[in-house]
Amino acid sequence: METIYGNDTNIFDYYWSDNLTSFSLKYSKTLLETLWKNGKWEIPLYSIIFFLAVVGNIVVILTLVKNIRMRTNTNVFLLNLAVSDLILAVLCMPFTLIGTLLRDFVFGETMCKLVPYLQATSVAVSVWTLVAISIERYYAICHPLRSRRWQTLSHAYHLICYIWTGSTITMLPIFILTELQPTNKGRHKCREKWPNGDYERIYNLLLDLLLLLIPLLALGVTYYLISITLWRDLSKKSEDVSYQRHEENSKREKNSSYDLSDEYNPNNNNNITTGRNKKKLKREIILNDVTKLEVFQSIKSCSSISLRHNNYERSLRKKQLVIKMLFVVVLEFFVCWTPLYVINTLALFWPHLVYRGKIGYKMISFCQLLAYTSGCCNPITYCFMNKGFRTWKKKKEQ
């Protein structure tokens, strides 16, 4: 049975006693006082982040679900990222905050297993969704012809299913081994209980490898190659357009050097209308017409080249903006989560340094808060850096 602060009395016995009302009020008052005393800065910050994460990710989900034109491969992955962030905010943040402030996990054995498991699964889904986006963008930009066959929405949906399946399986040890443990102060902590400390270290180092080091390496390589390809394409296209413009300008100057003022004029006295010269006059008139046509075609060709160049630049600029936005999303995620991963790893090998040393509980609380901040960063980034989101928002406001 569950216990409160180490008292072995069943919780439900209180509700059937004559002192139900007085106990409930007293306990509620004590609980609120404890929460506010320990969380004068945590509660406001958590509340702001929770509100932004929930509202922002719901807006992202509704935008991508309702707007069919925005249903691209990249946006489907961003939708998956929003769902993962929403789960993290709703099902993890409140329980983590209250447990941290009370120094006691009061939500029972079931939630003790679910909260860490859902948090770990959500983080894994987010990480590998970011990796999937980077690989999809790499093939779309660096190998467009090769990737055209498999870059479909159905392929993206299948990949998302694999990501969720792999994440839930990878995090199963957390669900199985996490349990509610009593502390020496009569309270409870929610911790993993491994049969051997070496197994715990190996598993957590494996998670560091799968969720931090390998994704960072994959993201760094793919976005580096994408940046090189975009820069090379832009430079090459600029050189090609400059060369074509130079050639067309040369042709236009050559064609315009012809004297077009001496066209055939019936009132001109210099025109000789003898039978022998009629053929010559006709040839001159035809030559002038051909010259005019060449000049016109030259001007038209220059305009066409300029139009193609503008369209290409617009397309390239759009790709660059998408890559910048995705790079910011990746940077935000790893800046938010890396400190918590580092602290968890340090706690496995040097627990005294984390809990009784220079780090302490305040730094742990700050790193947890920083990690949850990633859930509200993504919607803000989309609104500022994604033209599709801004356009849809303006249409809804109108």
Per-residue pLDDT at 66: 87
291 occurs within a structural domain? no
Q: Does residue 128 have a pLDDT over 60?
A: yes
Give 108's contacts (C-beta < 8 A, 6+ positions apart): 2, 180
* Mean pLDDT value across the chain: 77
Q: Does residue 23 have a pLDDT over 80?
A: no
Per-residue pLDDT at 116: 94
R_g (Cα) of the chain, nearest Å = 34
109 occurs within a structural domain? yes
Please tell me the distance from the alpha carbon of residue 371 to that of residue 27, in angstroms, as a whole number.
Answer: 31
Give residue 116's Cα distance to chain centre.
23
**Which is higher by pLDDT, 259 or 227?**
227
Amino acid at 99: G
206 occurs within a structural domain? yes
Per-residue pLDDT at 83: 96
- Counted domains in the chain: 1
Amino acid at 155: H
In this structure, of 34-43, 71-80, 186-195, 387-396, the range with the lowest mean pLDDT score is: 387-396
Per-residue pLDDT at 248: 58
CB 177 within 8 A of CB 142: no
201 occurs within a structural domain? yes
195 occurs within a structural domain? yes
Per-residue pLDDT at 393: 57
CB 361 within 8 A of CB 369: no
CB 179 within 8 A of CB 191: yes
Q: Does residue 312 have a pLDDT over 70?
A: no
Average pLDDT rounded to a whole number, residues 163-192? 92
Please tell me the distance from the alpha carbon of residue 69 to that of residue 56, in angstroms, as a whole number.
Answer: 20
List the one residue out of 166, 28, 193, 203 whose CA is nearest residue 109.
Answer: 193
198 occurs within a structural domain? yes
Give 50's contacts (C-beta < 8 A, 6+ positions apart): 89, 93, 94
CATH of residue 245: 1.20.1070.10
Per-residue pLDDT at 1: 38
199 occurs within a structural domain? yes
Task: Say what the pTM is.
Answer: 0.73
Per-residue pLDDT at 353: 82
> pLDDT tens across 194-231, in order?
998 899 999 999 999 999 999 999 999 999 998 898 88
Domain holding 125, by residue range, is: 11-24+35-256+310-397
> pLDDT tens across 130-145, in order?
999 999 989 988 888 8
100 occurs within a structural domain? yes
Per-residue pLDDT at 294: 54
